[in-house]
Every structure is written in structure tokens, then in C-alpha cells.
Structure 1
């Protein structure tokens, strides 16, 4: 009986934990691998205070860059490498990750780091060891002004853990970026921004205006403020305004500036858009004016996509609710069974106690009757004995 009770209680506890797991997501702390990365700066380092490669190069120059990798852990570490060009992401920052799958190479980029740099794809670092790997550079024949900007992506993990490009958020690996800046001259380059396209699209069941802005020069641009004002056609009243500050742009790159004011809905119609970009670092300013017509959206298509999404959400919520209801019902049933068993045991205990008490009472009554009979019997015997003694 005791083992059955323990088993039932264990089942109840397990079901309770399972129900909590449907609601609570436990996030484990990130644990990175124990590999450190240190660039060994060569003699032609242009900026001695920089902790990345800032090299003054010559046309057709070939050079090996040394990268020191130290494994301080007790296990072998697998390290993978990737050469990437610097781009500008949609958050307005210079990005050294591999974005070739999501964006195409900018048309203004003539020479990229990928074109002139190579490195081995991976290596194994023994435990408690430090090794040096090399990046091979070969500059183009023709002299250029400006800069080539990119980065070396280093990803480390334990040797037995397999890594993939689609698994960038694993808890057992760590990513390092070592920037690489190459120049040949001190000729000043002035950044130039262009408004390539401005169009509307549907995102999250609302219309968003997107402006694609390009920096077509081989120089980065810092501390940029973008302001977009939207007017309805033939109206001087401001309809919507978007503003961002502190943006940066990589050389020969472009990014998408989204005008998605939450409190405003861009319905079908014609709009006048005034876009201003201002760099506080160079005191440059660019202004563009564009007309945009937002056509009547295919409501049926949008509604269908929305319905599919809603159906998937409803289905998911329904499954979760059904599972939760069944588990709660099962838990309630187990609790009722336990309670019934407890009541039954209590009633049985009362019954046996009463039965024992009744049996004791009967024994007492029987003993009393037996004693009274003996007394009566003795009383009847005494006169006969007395008369016999008199004689």
C-alpha cells in the first residue's frame, strides 16, 4: 500500500512539472568555449593603437597575417574560419558577419577582402595549447584610394560538437570577429550617399515604406542621422515622420531604412517623401524628394496569409489547451482517487475500531454475566453446606 501511494505521488509531481514546462521556458546560461583569439600586428600596422589589423599595403603586395589561438581548456577545440566583407545591416551598424545569403554584393564594391584574402577553413587546437594560423593576402595590381574593410570570423567549440551555419546560437560555441582594414594611400575620400529605391511592401499585415540608401565610396561613414517626412500628395500637412540617429555605414554598401510609424497606416494613395541624411562626423548632408504611390493591396491575398497564420496559431493554442486540460483532468482524477482511498482507509479503520470495541463490550458483558451466575450458584450452595455442618 505504501509503495502504491509513493508511486501515485511521484506521478502527480511529474505531471505538475510537465504542466509547468508548458508555460515556463528555462534558459540556460551561455557557456562559451575556452579559446582566445589575438591578432599579431605586423610592422606595416598603420594605426599602432588599434587592436585589429589596420595595414598600409602596396599594389601586388603579398603578406601573411598571424593569428594566435590559445586553448585554455582541458579538451580539444575545433575552430572554423571565414573571411567576410564589411556591410551595413538594417540596424544601421557595420556588420562583419556573412550576409551573402541575404544580400547581394554592392555594385560599387570593386575590390573586397574576400577577393584578396584566404585562410584555412578549420583546425583543431589541442588542450592547453597555443597555435598560430595564417591569413594570406594578395593585393591587386592597380593602386587604389580609400579602404578595403572586412573581418575574419572565428568560431570555436569542443571538437566533438558539430557546427553548422544555421546553428549560430548554440550554447557550446563562441564567435570572435577580427576586423581587417587595408589602405594604400592617404588620399582623402569623401563619402557619398545615394537613394537607390523607395517602395512599399507588406510586413506583419501592415504597409511599410522602405528606402534603400547606398554609400558608394571606399570609406566608412559615422554618426549619421536619418529623417523621413511623409506627406499625402498635394498636402502640406505632415502625415508621418521617422527619425534614427547614430547610424554607421561601411564602405561600398547599402542598407534599408524602414518608414513604419506605428501610429500611422499607409493606405492606398499617393505620397510625397522627403528624406534627409546628415553625418555629424563629416558635416555632410544629403536630401532627397520622391513620390510614391501605394496601390490597393490584394486584400484577398493578405487576408489569406493572415488567415493561415491565425489558423496555425489557433491550432497551436488549441493543442496546448487540450493537452493542458487532459493533464489537469488526469491530475484531478488521481487526486480524487487518492482522496477516496484515504476516506476508504479511514472508514475501514473506524469500522475495525468499532468492531473491536463491540467485541470488547460483548466480552465484558459475557464476563459480567458469568460472574453473576457464579455468585448465584454460590448463594444456592451455602444453605446446604450450613445444614450439613450443623448435623
Structure 2
């Protein structure tokens, strides 16, 4: 009986050791992931633009031929699909270009470029909020006031539409863990006065160390200073140590776009590496069709900047915060402790077996 118990204990302990080793291996191998449940609230409404006579083409947005100082009111039709009252928030924004070469017509933290003379916010006026009764259809005015001076090219932007959150929805969002998806519409607005084709003109602004998406990157900023779009743009940026011909980092992207009178900040990622203080050279080549812009600029990464951005890079912080050596030491320590416990139990069991044999001999 004692031998049977001892065998069972050995098998159970071996199973426990194997299980612990398997779990530890998974801990060391599997990447860390964060999951969030989606719980989208229904949009609840539809819209359509009412195209005026000065609409150009058949696009699904406003593309209007205007004149200097012209005042015009166009309309957007809203329909509440639900059986409850709902409201829609509206805002006007000028078009901007994000770091992925995508044009944004909605709210953004991107700043206006200094070359932007006519901000859409100063030309278009809409109600801040529209309230719709159940199943109601309502036309909302969009008031346009054109600048006094005639211009060539485009004034570009959009009207942002988003359902107003109810108190219940706000509480649900606050209670939700992870990413909360919110849905919105963009009504594009393109204003022009002439058929003159404006050619893009790109101007270099700066290149510097920084962080994008919480990771180290060299950031190149340049502007499209004309009131026209840049289409099919290819951007190629190479980073060198000053005095060296060796390319340290490079990023090349194709099919980028730029909005009229907007800037782009193009990142060259360090791919998990730390910034090193020193003098660098950036070579920037931008092409679009038969047009080409090229710059070569020297810049410095100071020790203070390197330390600042290295501390903000989450990949570096994780490397410093999660030491795999420490994890291995902990796993080894746990396994060692379990091995010691096993040896102690094994020794006690052997002693009991020996004592039992002695008692049987005496009998």
C-alpha cells in the first residue's frame, strides 16, 4: 500500500512538473495581447446631400463652382431611422494630410499649414447640433460665404457628422474596457472658382527625432503649399550618420496623397532601437508623376532628446520593464523549490517504507 501511494505521488508530481514547465514555456514564447470587446451602438440615422445647380459632376459630396464673395445655402437631408429622438453633432474641418499619406476631412490634432489662406471653418457654417424626432426627415442648412479675392485651385474640407451620445451610452462607454468604436460620417466639401490647373509645390520644413505611435522615429515634415492635391506620391527617406555613406534607417512609401495647403510628417521608424545622440543627415526624395523634389538636410539628436524619446518608446520600456532573465530565474527558482519538496517527500516516504519493513521483520 505504501508503495502504491508513493508511485501515485511520483506520477502526480511528475505531471505537475511537466504542466508547470509547459506553462512556463508558453509564458516565455507567446506574445502578450490585449483584447477588447466591441459593442457598437447603432448609428440610427442616414443622410444625403441635396445637390445644387452649381454642383460639378455627380460625386457623393459637394463639389461646387463658386464666385468671389458669393453667398449660398446648400442642404443635407437627415432621416432618423429609430423610434426614439436622437441628435447629431456637426463640425467643419479643413482637409489635412496624416503621416500615412491619407487625407483627413474630420476632426484631427493636425495643425493647419501656414500656407492655408482660406480655412474651411471660416467659409462654411452649420448648426452645432441637429435633433431629430422618431422617423423624422429634416433638411439642415449649410451656409457658404466665399472670400472676396478670386483664387485658383481648391478650398477643401468636410462636414463631420456624429450621433450625440446619450447619458446611458456615455456610462456604457466609461464602463467598457478596451477600445470603444464610435461611428461618424464625413460630407466632403470642395470649392473652386476657375478651371486653372494649379501645380503642386512641396517645401521642406524640418527633420528631427521624435516618437510616432509610442515608438522612436525620425520625423520628416514638408508642405504642399499650393491649393491643389498631390496624387500618386512616392516618399523615400534615408538616414545617415554625418560623414558616413552607410544608410542607418530608410523608409519608402508609395501612392500617398496630400491635401491642398497641408503638411505631412513622414516617419522613419527605428524598429525597436534606441536613439543615439549625434549628428545625422537626412536624404529626402519625393516624386509625383513627372515631378520631383529632393532635399538633403543635416540635423542633430541631443543626449537630452535621445533620453526623452527612448523613455517614451513602449517597446524599449517593455524590454526594460519585463526582464526575461528575471522570468527565467523565477521559473528555475519555482522548479528548484518543487524539486526540493519532491526530494523531501521522497525521503520521508523511503523512511516510512524502511520502518514498515523493520516492523514486519520483528513480527
Of 63, 86, 90, the match for 1:77: 86
In the other structure, the counterpart of 1:147 is 154
Kept in 2: contact 1:207–1:267 (CA 8 A)? no
From the superposition, tell whether residues 185 and 26 of structure 1 become closer, same or farther in structure 2 (CA, over 3 Å).
Answer: closer
Are the equivalent residues in 1 in contact too, given 2:96–2:112 (CA < 8 A)?
Answer: no
Q: Does 1:134 align with 2:144?
A: no
**What is the aligned partner in structure 2 of residue 40 from structure 1?**
50
Secondary structure, counterpart of 2:204 in structure 1: strand
The SS at the match of 1:228 is strand
SS of aligned partner of 2:121: helix
Q: Does 1:292 align with 2:292?
A: no
Asked if structure 2 preserves the Cα contact closer than 8 Å seen for 1:73 and 1:128, the reply is yes
Q: Which residue number corresponds to residue 125 of structure 2?
A: 118
Rounded Cα–Cα distance in structure 2 between residues aligned with 1:34 and 1:292: 51
Tell me the residue number matched to 1:351: none
Residue 217 to residue 27, structure 1, CA distance change in 2 (3 Å): same
SS at match of 1:92: coil
Cα contact 1:242–1:261 (8 A) shared by 2: no
Question: Could you tell me whether the CA contact under 8 Å between 1:206 and 1:265 is conserved in 2?
Answer: no
- Counterpart in 1 of 2:187? 178
Partner of 2:353: none
Greater gyration radius: 1
Superposed displacement of residue 203, structure 1: 6.6
1:269 Cα deviation from its structure 2 partner: 2.4
Matched, 1:248 2:290: no
Match of 1:260? 269
Distance 1:24 1:265 in 2: 25
Equivalences for residues 58-73 of structure 1 within 5 A: 58-73=67-82
Structure 2: which 5+ runs fail to align?
1-32, 323-363
The answer for the alignment partner of 1:191 in structure 2 is 200
CA deviation map 1:357-391 (0-9, x unaligned): xxxxxxxxxxxxxxxxxxxxxxxxxxxxxxxxxxx
> Do the aligned residues in 2 keep the contact of 1:75 with 1:158 (CA within 8 Å)?
no
Structure-2 change in CA distance of 1:141 and 1:184 (3 Å): same
Mapped to 2, the partners of 1:306 and 1:263 lie a distance apart of 8
User: For 1:323-343, what per-residue CA distance to the aligned partner results, in whole angstroms no more than 9, with x for missing partners?
Assistant: xxxxxxxxxxxxxxxxxxxxx
Is 1:230 the counterpart of 2:239? The answer is: yes
The Cα of 1:52 is off from its aligned counterpart by 0.3
SS in 2 for 1:74: coil
CA contact 1:241–1:261 (8 Å) conserved in 2? no
Give the TM-score taking structure 1 as reference length: 0.65
In structure 1, runs of 5+ residues without a counterpart are: 1-22, 315-391
CA distance in structure 1 between the aligned counterparts of 2:195 and 2:275, rounded to whole angstroms: 47
Task: Output the TM-score relative to the length of structure 2.
Answer: 0.70
Q: How many residues align?
A: 284
For 2:116 and 2:265, locate their aligned partners in 1 and report how far apart those are by CA, in whole Å. Answer: 17
Q: Output the CA distance in 1 between the equivalents of 2:56 and 2:308.
A: 56
